[in-house]
Amino acid sequence: MNVLICRWQHSRHGHDGDVEEIACRVHAAIVAREWDTVRLLLHPYLHWTDSRGSQVRGRAKVMAMLQQAAEPPAVPASVELRDGQIYRWAG
């Protein structure tokens, strides 16, 4: 069994435990290519910044990018929740 260890900086919104749990679930779903799960966990107005600083906005655009990517993104450096979904992802 693979164990995913997730560590993030403190979020500005929500409880850190909730943020960490949801971010870990999103990352695991991306790695497993479980797109229905990913969609449910990402906010429609998502702000996504990858580890190189490139930005993509909107859940549909982010999901298209992830589905076409050769490799899943790294575990994020920080995330922010809105309404229980990932609203900001910074790689």
Distance in angstroms (rounded) separating the CA atoms of residues 57 and 68: 16
Q: Is 3 part of a structural domain of the chain?
A: no
pLDDT value for 25: 93
Q: Is 7 part of a structural domain of the chain?
A: no
What is the share, in percent, of the chain residues with pLDDT greater than 70?
A: 81
Structural domain containing residue 52: 16-90
Q: Mean pLDDT across the chain, nearest whole number?
A: 85
The beta strand positions in 1-91, using DSSP E, are 42-49, 55-57, 78-82, 85-90
pTM to 2 decimal places: 0.82
The larger pLDDT score, comparing residue 63 to residue 17, is at 63
Count of domains in the chain? 1
pLDDT band with cut points at 50, 70 and 90 for residue 82: very high
The larger pLDDT score, comparing residue 16 to residue 45, is at 45
